Structure formats: C-alpha cells, structure tokens
Structure 1
C-alpha cells in the first residue's frame, strides 16, 4: 500500500502543477498526454514545421494557432512523437481535430472527417553516399534491387509496383536505416532533413545526398472530426480564418519569419495552387 501511495504522489502532483496551464485561454502547444481541455488538436512531431524543439512550435504551429485564435476556437495543440498516437485520438477518442500528412483513411472514416490543406511541401529522394559511392540509380531495372524507407501510411504503390522492397519508420529512424544500409533511399522535405542532420548527425551531414529533382508535393492537413460536437462548425471557421490569412498576408509573414522571404513565397504559391486545383 505504501509503495502504491509513493508511486501515485508524483502523478497527482504533476496534475496540480499542470492545472493552471490547462485552464489558460488561447491556443497552446504542449507535449502532454493528458489535458483537461475538451478541444484537443493532436499532431506528430515534424521539425522544423511542427515541433516543441523549434521556437514557437515552428511555422505551421504558429499558422494554425493564429487561425484558431482568429476563428475564436480555444484549443490545445498537442505534439506527439508517434503518428499512431495521433490516429488513436482522432478515431478512438473523437478528438476535435488532428494535423498530419500521409493520410490513409477508409471511405467510411473519411465521411466523418473534414480535411483542410494547411501547407504544401516539396520532397526529394535522399540516400547515404557511403552505401552508394557511385550515386543512386532509380531506373526500373535498379529499383527492384533496392529497399525504400517509408513513413507510416505513405503511398508506396509506385515502389512496390516496380518490385522495390519497403521498410517503415519515422524520419529519424529512416535516416539511421540509411546509414546502416537497411534502406537505400527515402523521400522527405529538404528542410526536415537539414534540420535533423544539423541537430543529430552534423558530423555526417555531407554523407546524406539529395537527388536534385523534386519528386513529390506532400500536403500537411488539418483534419476536423464530424463526430465531435464542435467539429463541423470549427472546421468552417478555421477554413475561413486560414483563407483570410493567406489573402491578407499574415500567412506569408509567418512563413517569412521562419523560412525566409524566398522560401515563404514558394510555400504560399504552392498552397494557393493546390487549393485552386482542389476547388477549395
């Protein structure tokens, strides 16, 4: 009994210490797994766009918080290390919303969701030079001999159709798999690779090589839950607020702050082009 009381005491103390944070007003960024706030928005750590290791949570975090505040939506933005945790909160706990990429929902699940694009990112293929000193050849004859490193729920149909083997992991684990030779190449936004290598593998940064061509555009979405009592109304207000930010320049100003004016304009144009193509 004494052992149980000693184990519970730190947990109870943490709830007491966190209580003022949970009752604060305005959108917040947190890594907590428990919140007293009924409006939860969950996302996965994805530096430098969304991360507690980046000032103010990163560019996308600030864009989302600004849109939420403009829409009058009081919500917690909780950042998790694993995508399956985010999916759990959306599909099992009926959270207000989640934010993520590489969407993989069934037709039935999609009917309960409202999906809004927030940012469009370019992606490039990355390989580890010591494993491929002569470069990486991705023609059809070579693909069937290679292993592709994929993120969870990423569309890998073009690789499997070519006979390529697929292994899975988050971005950091995929970089380690590249170094070990467990996978031959991965597909990631260049800014994410640069941030992770600078932080965790600076001595080996030059060994990770990006193929020059942009191979894909990856979209980061806000996904509102119709099963949440406030889901549909919050989605409509958030979408309107985000569109206003793009139109009046606040969206671009935030991108310039984090990414520089040149990169900011490219991201803004990609979002506008994608939204127009989707009829949004």
Structure 2
C-alpha cells in the first residue's frame, strides 16, 4: 500500500512536467480583430492564450482553418482544443471551458440612411426587417425564436456587403469585428453603416479543450492559473491595449 501511494505521488508530481515538455496543438479560425493568422501575434486572444500557457511553462502552436473544421477536429481531439469560442450547452458536453478571456460586444449594424427602432425581437419580424446571419454562429437568446426574416451567409464579410447593398436591414455582429471589416475589407461602405445602441449582449470568449484528450482537465487548470497571473501582473491589459484596435 505504501509503495502504491508513493508511486501515485510521484506520478502526480511528474504529470505537469510531462505536459510542459510538449507543444500543444490548438485549432482556430480567423475572427478579426481578435484572432487571425495574419494579425500581429495572431491577435489579442491568441497572445493571451499563448502567454497564459507560457506562464505555466507550456508552449502552443495555433493551426488556422475554417471554424466548422476547427470545432469538429478539436472535439475529436485531432487538436487538443480551440483557441476561442462562445459558450454553448452542447459544446460543453465535449469541451472543458476556461475562465473567460474577454467579452465580445454584440450589436446590430444597420445602414445610416435607415431609421430602425424596435421593442423586442418579435417586433423585428412584425416590421418585416431582414437579418443577415452567418451560418453556424450562436445568436442572441430569443432572436431566432422570434422567427425573423433571415438571410444566411457563409462569412461576416458577406453579411456586411449585403447590408451595405440593401439586401438585408440588420446584421448582428461583434462591434470590433464589424468595424474591422468595414475599415479593412469593405472601406468603400464604411461611411454608410453604423450600429444600434445599447448592445444586444456581452458574450465572453473562452479557451476550449477537448474532453477526449486525457491531458485537458489538468491543462485547463494550468491555463486558468496562468491567466490569473497575467491579469495580476498587468500583462493581460497590456496585450489588449497593444493588439486590439480602439473603438470608433
């Protein structure tokens, strides 16, 4: 019995060092300006995740691909997890969620020339307003249940292009994501669009690690400890200030 206890203690002591000796393979999509392959440091979210793991002596490599593929392969533990995603009960069955990284401010974008007011989501449907939604994205609670007039597209850029051309009336999107797309991808339409206040919701992003990988439960604890260290040292806030663009 004593030998077994000793071996168990040794195993527990060695486990973190085994994890630290490996480079973790994480999957990610491009979600400007928060994380993307061609952004400095691959974006603020990527850098927060990278530095939180480094604070625990763990290195990572981020592999970029379309979101649906990144989610699927992470769930199957082809990659140990996703750099960032929003919370969803179905996803939580397959992933460990970290502490929140930071929140996306979800707003309705619209054309400046069109006055829009509504009392609730059902009012949008009653007015016949058309919404441009990106396939696969989680939407604010109650929006889809109100049965709005939906036009589904594959990318954020397509949704904003349809909004600018009058093919839809509203696009729910992260405010910084929308502003980045208008500044960098669709600058010819930037002056035509703005957003409604107040925000629909603040939606936190999280690191997700696959429950199919036996390392994940310990790793999510180590990541959370590293994230706390970043916040306490001031490095977390410095990363956000350096890598996120200012709001307009």
State the TM-score, normalizing by the size of structure 1.
0.70
Q: CA deviation at 1:87?
A: 1.3
Given the alignment, which residue of 102, 113, 117 partners 1:119? 102
Partners of 2:169 and 2:208 in 1: CA distance: 32
Given the alignment, which residue of 130, 143, 166 partners 2:125? 143
Q: CA deviation at 1:205?
A: 0.4
Q: Is the 8 Å Cα contact of residues 48 and 195 (structure 1) preserved in structure 2?
A: yes
Q: CA deviation at 1:191?
A: 1.9
Q: Determine which structure has greater relative contact order: mean sequence separation of CA pairs < 8 Å that are 6+ residues apart, divided by chain length.
A: 2
Partners of 1:166 and 1:134 in 2: CA distance: 18
Partners of 2:92 and 2:145 in 1: CA distance: 26
Name the structure 2 match of 1:33. none
Name the structure 1 match of 2:138. 154
Name the structure 1 match of 2:63. 78
Name the structure 2 match of 1:87. 71
Q: Is the 8 Å Cα contact of residues 40 and 243 (structure 2) preserved in structure 1?
A: no
**SS of equivalent to 1:183:** coil
Q: CA deviation at 1:85?
A: 1.1
State the TM-score, normalizing by the size of structure 2.
0.79
Given the alignment, which residue of 193, 212, 227 partners 1:227? 212
**Number of residue pairs aligned between Structure 1 and Structure 2:** 221
Q: CA deviation at 1:59?
A: 1.2
Question: Compared with structure 1, are the counterparts of its residues 52 and 200 closer, same or farther at alpha carbon in structure 2 (3 Å cutoff)?
Answer: same
Partners of 1:234 and 1:141 in 2: CA distance: 45
**SS of equivalent to 2:218:** helix
Residues 184-199 of structure 1 correspond to what in structure 2 (within 5 A)?
A: 184-199=169-184
Q: CA deviation at 1:142?
A: 4.0
Partners of 2:56 and 2:131 in 1: CA distance: 41
Considering fraction of residues, name the structure with more helix: 1
Question: Compared with structure 1, are the counterparts of its residues 38 and 165 closer, same or farther at alpha carbon in structure 2 (3 Å cutoff)?
Answer: farther
Q: CA deviation at 1:63?
A: 0.9
Is 1:51 matched up with 2:36? yes
Partners of 1:91 and 1:52 in 2: CA distance: 21
* Structure 2 portions without partners, runs of 5+: 1-19
Name the structure 1 match of 2:6. none
1:210-235 deviation per Cα after TM superposition (whole angstroms, max 9, x unaligned): 11322210211101112113211211
Partners of 2:123 and 2:222 in 1: CA distance: 50
